[in-house]
Amino acid sequence: MTTGEPGWAAGVPNDVEMWRHELRRLGWAAGCAPALALVAAVAVVALTAGEGLERPQASLVLLTGLEALLPLAVAMAATSVVAAGRARELHLSLPTPYAMVLGRRLGLLAAATSAVAVVFTGAIWAAGLWSGPSLVASPLLWAPAVAWLGGLAVLVALVTRSLLLATTVAAGVWLAHQLFAASFAAHAWSRPLYLFPVSRLDAYPGWMTDRLVLTATVAPLAAGVLLLLRRPERMLTEEEA
């Protein structure tokens, strides 16, 4: 059998083939989730435009899409990658560590998220609807929240080995941040941990510093995830174990 025969793609390097396989394993639902979250924000603006939606309001909805909806969608997608993957036992018996397989899939999700977020930011800036920080600092709007909520969801998925529990925790935290914005803002210690400062607290002075603090708090979550990934049986669900 040589390259180019029926059933085989011709002349594709192994690395590309591996990433192509992992992209398919990520699945269209998880891969499209970040884009769909932002499309939902655009849809809200489009549907309410005829009802006298002012530009500042439209801008806020779009920023909310970027700052709040995107992290939620990514957290759900990341949870499904970790907790709903198939053939886990087989993967755990292969010489390529399953943690690396999951890392590739989560990496693809992160890449898709970054790409759609950057394109979305550029698009609303070009449309004159951008009311967030400078374009250079714009990743601070969504990236820390995506990493924090996504990291938390993955950590819970690994600890509980339950898709339901992980998604519930991620959605619960997201909802708490939406409902109790004022409470988070009221204390100096909780303000840096608040996920949605621009859309819910109107980008108070010093929010960028707080964003960097939030980014730093991702480190213990990431360390927890890496620690759990070193214990292969953590990857089997309760039913499989």
Partner 1 sequence: MDIAITGLRRSFGRVTALRGVDLTVRGGMYGLLGGNGAGKTTLMRIMAGVIAPGAGQVRIGGYDLTTRSGRRQVQRRLGYVPQDLGLYPDLSPREFLDYVALLKGLDDSAARRRQVEELLDVVGLTGVAGRRMKGFSGGQRRRVGIAQALLGDPALLIVDEPTAGLDPEERIRFRTLLAGLAGQRTVLLSTHIVEDVAQTCHETAVLAAGQVIYSGSVADLTRAAEGTTWQMSSAGAPPIEGVVVSAVARETGTQFRVISPARPSPDATSVAPTLEDGYLALMQRHSSTAVG
* Closest distance to partner 1 from the beta carbon of 101 (Å): 7
CB atoms within 10 A of CB 47: 10
Going residue by residue from 25 to 64, which x/- string records binding to partner 1, judged by CB under 8 A?
A: x---------------------------------------
* Closest distance to partner 1 from the beta carbon of 112 (Å): 19
Q: Which of 18, 135, 164, 216 touches partner 1 (CB under 8 A)?
A: 18
Interface segment toward partner 1; rule CB under 8 A; list 90-98, 150-158, 164-172, 203-211: 90-98
**How far does CA 70 lie from the centroid of its chain?**
6
Q: Which of 61, 83, 88, 225 touches partner 1 (CB under 8 A)?
A: 88
Q: Under the criterion CB under 8 A, does residue 103 sit at the interface with partner 1?
A: no
Q: Under the criterion CB under 8 A, does residue 227 sit at the interface with partner 1?
A: no
Q: Which of 50, 52, 86, 188 touches partner 1 (CB under 8 A)?
A: 86
Q: Which of 77, 82, 83, 101 touches partner 1 (CB under 8 A)?
A: 101
CB nearer partner 1, residue 86 or residue 128: 86
Q: Under the criterion CB under 8 A, does residue 96 sit at the interface with partner 1?
A: yes
How far apart CA 148 and CA 64 sit, in angstroms, is 17
CB nearer partner 1, residue 54 or residue 239: 239
Q: Is 158 left (phi over 0), alpha (psi -120 to 50) or beta?
A: alpha
CB nearer partner 1, residue 21 or residue 187: 21
* Closest distance to partner 1 from the beta carbon of 74 (Å): 23
**Contact residues for partner 1 (CB under 8 A)?**
1-3, 5, 7-8, 12, 14, 17-18, 21, 24-25, 86-96, 101, 231-233, 236, 240-241
